[in-house]
Structures are given as structure tokens and as C-alpha cells.
């Protein structure tokens, strides 16, 4: 892979004092840094981005890979050329840097079972980030229609779409995507949530489409998911998932 996207989390107490709290009212800042995997030195530089700018070391590095759901930090070509073996080598290379700097490192994207966790733990990861598995739980507050879309999905139903924000994204194929492909527009105003989206030309508002989906209006909703969403076959409890990973 030519690109790896790091998500660096750093405690921003001083910045919060000066400029108000961080995203969502917290004092933690999330920074995404796209890097060329072919330049090994860049990895170490990236890990110091937060250190140099805010005088603190990242609390955690999350490696979010090409099997993740929603918007992806990869080009379509990189997604098509992905192999687990290549990705594992990238993870080990990054881990060698984070361990040297004593920064915990978590792997996300495609983690669905304890076996997945054990695979990344064997590579040296300190933990995993998991989302898709929790959608089809009793505790998830998404509509039942949204959860049912996961339960009904086959592997071939999970597709890569071009988001209005200009990035590829992974979603479950549905009627909404067919309508968009046929040229139908769903724009009903712009929330101005991201500068890369041109409200005059895009077929739909990404924020509205995601809200529609999670609230059950699937005919006008984009159903983001991870690559393993098709493996969902029943509604389970969060406690049972955590017990599996314990």
C-alpha cells in the first residue's frame, strides 16, 4: 500500500484553555495525517506532529486500515490492490516506531472476532478498534431497519462508493445508491460541514444521508459499514461480545 492513515490522539489541555474545548466538548484532539508508506522516516516525523505543535506526545496512535467502514483514507486503486499480508507488514513497520516512542498503538478496520484481535495482538498491537460488530446489538440506538440491512447483506452487497466529500467510502448497496447512480439528486440545503463538498453539484448531503439511514429512512439513506458487515446474522448483546474478547 502506498498510503497509511494515522489517527493521532493527543491530550490538549493547554490548547483547550486558550481556544475552548476540543471536538465534542472534550479536551482531546483527533488529527489525521496521510503519509507515504514508502518513506519510512516520515512515520517518525508524523508521530511527532502533535508533540512539536502542542508540546505533548500523542496518547494513542490508531491505524485504521482499508477494511474499515465509512470514509476511507485510501484511493480506490489502493483499496483494489490491498492484501492482508501487505497490510500486516505496514502495521509491523508502524508498530516498531510507536513502541520505540512508547505510544500505545491500536489497529482498526476489519476487526470482527476474537481471532482478528489475536492476529493483530500477535503483530504487537496494544488493542483494536471495532465498530461494525456493535451495530447489530440490542444496545445500538440505530433503527431496526438499519440493523436489518446489516443482517440481510451478502458479501457482494458491500460496495465502495464515491462520497460527496470526494473520498471513497464503504457502504451496503441499496435503493438509494441506485437512485443516485441514475442521476437523482437529494440535496435539500447544505450544512456546510466540509469544504470539499460542492452543494451545487453533489447528488446528496452526506450528513443528511447518514442520518436518514440510521433513523430508518433507507430509501434516502447511505448505509456505511465495514467490510465484515455481511457476517452479521443475529442481534446480540454488547456484554456477550465483550465476553468473547475477554
Phi, psi for residue 169 in degrees, rounded to 5? -145, 155
Q: Region 66-94: what's the mean pLDDT?
A: 88
Q: Region 3-23: what's the mean pLDDT?
A: 39
How many Cβ atoms sit within 10 Å of the Cβ of residue 91? 20
Q: How many CA atoms lie within 13 A of 135 on its CB side?
A: 25
The dihedral sign for the CA sequence 122, 68, 129, 239? negative
d(CA 105, CA 28): 16
The per-residue pLDDT for 35 is: 43
DSSP SS3 for 72: coil
Q: Name the pLDDT band for 198 (thresholds 50, 70, 90).
A: confident
Express the helix, strand and coil content of the chain in percent, nearest 5 each.
40, 20, 40
d(CA 136, CA 222): 17
Q: Using alpha carbons, select from 201, 145, 141 the residue that is nearest to residue 175.
A: 145
Amino acid at each position: 500500500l502506498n498510503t497509511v492513515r494515522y489517527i493521532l490522539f493527543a491530550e490538549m489541555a493547554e490548547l483547550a484553555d486558550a481556544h475552548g474545548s476540543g471536538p465534542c466538548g472534550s479536551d482531546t484532539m483527533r488529527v489525521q495525517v496521510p503519509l507515504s508508506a514508502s518513506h519510512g522516516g516520515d512515520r517518525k516525523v508524523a508521530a511527532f506532529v502533535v508533540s512539536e505543535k502542542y508540546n505533548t506526545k500523542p496518547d494513542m496512535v490508531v491505524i485504521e486500515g482499508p477494511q474499515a467502514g465509512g470514509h476511507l483514507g485510501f484511493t480506490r486503486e489502493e483499496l483494489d490492490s490491498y492484501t492482508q499480508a501487505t497490510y500486516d507488514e505496514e502495521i509491523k513497520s508502524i508498530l516498531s516506531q510507536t513502541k520505540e516512542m512508547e505510544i500505545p498503538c491500536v489497529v482498526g478496520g476489519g476487526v470482527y472476532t476474537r481471532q482478528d484481535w489475536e492476529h493483530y495482538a500477535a503483530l504487537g498491537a496494544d488493542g483494536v478498534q471495532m465498530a461494525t460488530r456493535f451495530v447489530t446489538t440490542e444496545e445500538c440506538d440505530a433503527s431496526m431497519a438499519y440493523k436489518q440491512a446489516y443482517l440481510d447483506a451478502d458479501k457482494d452487497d458491500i460496495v465502495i462508493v464515491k462520497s460527496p466529500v470526494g473520498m471513497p467510502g464503504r457502504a451496503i448497496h441499496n435503493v438509494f445508491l441506485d437512485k443516485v447512480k441514475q442521476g437523482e439528486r437529494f440535496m435539500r440545503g447544505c450544512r456546510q460541514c466540509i469544504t470539499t463538498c460542492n452543494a451545487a453539484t453533489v447528488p446528496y448531503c452526506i450528513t443528511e444521508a447518514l442520518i436518514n439511514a440510521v433513523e430508518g429512512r433507507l430509501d434516502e439513506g447511505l448505509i456505511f459499514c465495514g467490510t465484515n458487515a455481511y457476517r452479521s446474522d443475529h442481534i446480540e448483546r454488547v456484554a456477550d461480545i465483550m465476553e468473547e474478547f475477554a
